[in-house]
């Protein structure tokens, strides 16, 4: 992240995108004050750049030639890599979406199709840039999909929680993009944390040995945010 006075610029590295697509990404991210750097044509060049300095986001065109994607992402997430905590988004054609989603939780943070990217990429990256550190904690949660007339309330538990979202262990297969209302219990309190959240990913069976979803908070009720932040600070300490 680059800053000058009150203005902040995020740095984004495009990988495997042709010049025309890179320009479209640059235009889409203009509202974020994001600097889209000169792109890497292949995975080896991308690793050289990622090893030389940190980028806030990395946008990867999928498939990436003959790149071993799992190994490529693992290299980006190595503890010694400056980009180990960068936001990584895979862009693909519709027919590759399901294949792409197998890399969620295995290095990739989000998957978007080429048709979704112009509208959704700025919001997706902004959410990832603002994502807070996660605290591993098991808390009771009850949630329900908002726009499904046949939806029922589902009980589950958290795997980890941050001030921006939570990972839930549950068997209900909510699709990414689903809006849910939820209540989350806090230890020692009779008042649950209530609000709305958006499902951003499903767990990967290859990386996470449980069914579940990751959600980003879309709005917390009353003073729920301050109570949640106080709990997280105490739990992290």
Q: Where are the domains of the chain?
A: 2-129, 135-236
Q: Which residue has the tokens 């980006």?
A: 76
Percent over 70 (pLDDT), the chain: 93
Q: Which of 212, 184, 211, 215 has its CA nearest to residue 199?
A: 215
* Cα–Cα distance measured from residue 81 to residue 132, given in angstroms and rounded to the nearest whole number: 20
Helix H or strand E segment including 218: strand 212-220
Q: What is the reported pLDDT for 207?
A: 62
pLDDT reading at 92 higher than 70: yes
Pick from 184, 186, 215: which is nearest to 198 by CA?
A: 215
Mean pLDDT of the chain: 85
Residue pLDDT, tens place only, 134-172: 788 999 999 999 877 777 889 999 998 988 888 899 988
Range 135-236 has CATH code 2.40.10.220: yes
Look at strands 7-15 and 57-61 and give their pairing. parallel
Alpha carbon 130 to its chain centroid, in Å, reads 10
User: 2-129: what CATH class?
Assistant: alpha beta
Q: Please, what's the b/e burial string for 78-89 (b: 16 or more CB within 10 A of its CB; e: otherwise)?
A: eeebebeebbbb
Coarse DSSP helix, strand, coil percentages of the chain, rounded to the nearest 5 percent: 25, 35, 40
Q: What is the pLDDT of residues 38-78, one digit of tens each?
A: 888 888 899 999 998 888 899 999 988 777 888 999 999 99
Q: Report helix, strand or coil for 75.
A: helix
Query: Region 112-117: what's the mean pLDDT?
Result: 90
């Amino acid at each position: 992240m680059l800053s000058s006075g009150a203005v902040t610029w995020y740095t984004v590295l495009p990988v495997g995108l042709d010049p025309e697509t890179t320009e479209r990404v640059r235009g889409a991210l203009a509202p974020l004050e994001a600097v889209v750097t000169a792109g890497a044509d292949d995975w080896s060049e991308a690793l050289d750049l990622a090893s030389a300095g940190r980028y806030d986001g990395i946008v990867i065109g999928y498939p990436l030639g003959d790149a071993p994607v799992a190994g490529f992402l693992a290299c980006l997430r190595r503890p010694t890599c400056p980009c180990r905590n960068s936001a990584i988004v895979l862009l693909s054609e519709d027919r590759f979406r399901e294949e792409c989603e197998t890399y969620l939780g295995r290095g990739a943070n989000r998957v978007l199709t080429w048709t979704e990217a112009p509208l959704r990429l700025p919001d997706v990256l902004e959410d990832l840039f603002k994502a807070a550190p996660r605290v591993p904690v098991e808390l009771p949660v009850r949630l329900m999909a908002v726009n499904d007339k046949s939806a029922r309330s589902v009980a589950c538990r958290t795997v980890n929680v941050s001030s921006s979202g939570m990972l839930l262990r549950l068997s209900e297969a909510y699709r990414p993009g689903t809006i849910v209302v939820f209540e989350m219990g806090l230890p020692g309190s009779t008042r649950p944390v209530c609000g709305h959240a958006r499902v951003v990913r499903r767990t990967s069976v290859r990386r996470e040995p449980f069914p579940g979803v990751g959600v980003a908070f879309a709005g917390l009720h009353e003073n729920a945010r301050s109570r949640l932040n106080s709990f997280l600070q105490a739990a992290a300490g």
